[in-house]
Amino acid sequence: MPSSLRDVARKAKVSTGTVSNVLNRPEIVAPETLARVRKVIDELKFVPNGFARHLRSGQSRTIGLIIPDITNPFYTEVARGAEDAANKHDYAVFLCISDTDGAKETSYIGVLLEQRVRGVLIAPTDDAHKSVELLRSHHVGVALLDHKSVGSQECSVSVDHVRGGEIAIQHLADLGHKEIVWITGSEDYRQCVDRGIGVANIAERAGVELTIIPLKILNTSTGEEAAKKVMALEKRPTAIFCANDMLAFGVMRELLRMGIKVPQDISLIGYDDIYFAPTAAVPLSSIFQPAYQLGFTAAELLISECEDTGEHQHKQIVFDPELVARSSTAHVSTMRTVRVMEDISA
C-alpha cells in the first residue's frame, strides 16, 4: 500500500491539514515546517491519491478525447494537437479509440463519465447527436472535432467537408474525368456524407457519372477490398476519389498488386493529406486538412468552456480544405488506352 497523507502527518508530527497545505498552498506554511514535511514526503515516497483529491474537490483536470482510428496519421496529428493544448493548461488527456464503432463510442463515454472528466473532445463516427446529448445530459463540456455542431449548443472545430468534396471532384472534372468512383463511409459518418454532398454537387454540374462505394470502416484493408470492387465494375471508371488517405493507400497498394498503373490507368485522389501522401509510390493527390490545428483549437475551446464560470460563447470554427495536386491524378488524355487489351489477355 502506498503511504497516505496521514502517514506523512504522523511521521512529521503535524496535522493532515498542514500536509495538505504543503501540497497545495506551500506559501502559507512556515519554512521549517515546510522543509520537515517535504522531507518526510520524500522518505515515504508519498504520492497524493488523485481519486481522493478529485473526489473531495469534485473536479478533475482530465479531458477525454475520442477518435475513431489511432492508426490513421490524420487522427494522430489531431491527438498531438489536443495533447499539446491540454498540457499547456495542465490538463491530462484520456484517449479513447472508438474504432468507428458507435457502440464502443458510447461505452467509452460511460468510462469517461465515471472518470468525471471535465470535458470530452469527440470526433463522432456514428450518430453525433446521440453522443453529444448523452454527454450534455451529464453536464460535461463537449467539443466536436472534425464535425460541425449539431445545434450550435457546443463548440466545434471542423473543416468544410462539402467544400472539400467539391474541390476534389472539380479537380478530377478539370482533368477531363467523367466516370468517377467515390469510395466513402457509411451514412452515419457525417464527414463523409458532407463530402458526398460536395461530390454530388459538382458531379451533376460537370456531367460526371458517379459510382458510390460505401464502406463501414475506412482503413487500408477496406481500401484494398474496395479497389477489387472497382476493378470488377462493368464499366471501369477513369478516376477514384477516396474519403481518406488511408483508404487511398489501400487502393493504391491493391492496384499496384493488380498491375494497374496510377495515374496512367486510373487517377486516384485521397483526403487529409497525411504525411505519407507525398512520398507514396505514386505521390498522392489529396485534400489537405489542418489536423494538428484542429486538435489544438478544439482542446483550447473545450478547456475554455470547462473553466468558464460565466458566459462561454460556443464557437464554431470552420477551416478551409485545400487541394494538393500530385502525380496520382492526371488528365484523361494521358491515359493508356491499351489497358483493355491487357485485360483481355489476362
Q: Which residues bind DNA (CB under 7 A)?
A: 1, 4-6, 13-21, 23-24, 28-30, 32-34, 46, 48-49, 52-53, 55-58
Does 339 contact its own copies by CB under 8 A?
no
Q: Which does 5 bind (CB under 5 to 8 A by kind): DNA, its own copies, none?
A: DNA
Q: Which does 223 bind (CB under 5 to 8 A by kind): its own copies, DNA, none?
A: none
Taking CA atoms, 109 is separated from 4, 5, 240, 301, in Å, by 31, 32, 36, 19
Q: Which does 111 bind (CB under 5 to 8 A by kind): its own copies, DNA, none?
A: its own copies
Q: Dihedral, CA atoms, 187, 188, 194, 198, nearest 10 degrees?
A: -10
In the set 28, 35, 52, 103, which binds its own copies (CB under 8 A)? 52
Minimum CB distance to DNA, residue 139 (Å): 12
Could you count the other beta carbons within 10 Å of the beta carbon of residue 96? Answer: 20
Touching its own copies, residues 244-283 (CB under 8 A): 249, 252-253, 256, 275-276, 278-281, 283
Minimum CB distance to DNA, residue 110 (Å): 13
Does 120 contact its own copies by CB under 8 A?
no
Does 115 contact its own copies by CB under 8 A?
yes
Q: Which does 115 bind (CB under 5 to 8 A by kind): its own copies, DNA, none?
A: its own copies
- Residue 117 identity: V
Does 207 contact its own copies by CB under 8 A?
no
Give the nearer residue to DNA in terms of CB position, either 23 or 324. Answer: 23
Could you count the other beta carbons within 10 Å of the beta carbon of residue 168? Answer: 29
Minimum CB distance to its own copies, residue 315 (Å): 26
Binding pattern to its own copies, positions 87-106, x when CB under 8 A? -----xxxx-x---------
Q: Which of 32, 10, 30 is nearest to 21 (CA)?
A: 30
Q: Which does 33 bind (CB under 5 to 8 A by kind): DNA, its own copies, none?
A: DNA
- Cell 458531379 belongs to residue: 203
Binding pattern to its own copies, positions 1-20, x when CB under 8 A? xx------------------
Do residues 165 and 199 lie in contact, with contact meaning Cβ atoms separated by under 8 Å?
yes
Q: Which of 321, 140, 179 is nearest to 245 (CA)?
A: 321
310 by Cβ neighbours in 10 Å (0-12 / 13-18 / 19+) ranks as exposed
Q: Which does 30 bind (CB under 5 to 8 A by kind): its own copies, DNA, none?
A: DNA
DSSP annotation of 277 reads S
Give the nearer residue to DNA in terms of CB position, either 3 or 293. Answer: 3
b/e code 12-41 from CB counts within 10 Å (16+ = b): bebeeebbbbbbeeeeebeeebbebbbebb
Give the span between the Cα atoms of 209 and 180, in whole angstroms. Answer: 6
Does 45 contact its own copies by CB under 8 A?
yes
Minimum CB distance to its own copies, residue 146 (Å): 17
Do residues 233 and 179 lie in contact, with contact meaning Cβ atoms separated by under 8 Å?
no
- At residue 88's C-alpha, the angle toward residues 83 and 89, to 5°, is 105
> Which residues of the shown chain bind its own copies in the complex (CB under 8 A)?
1-2, 45, 47-55, 58, 60, 70-71, 73, 76-77, 79-80, 83, 92-95, 97, 110-111, 113-116, 137-139, 220, 249, 252-253, 256, 275-276, 278-281, 283
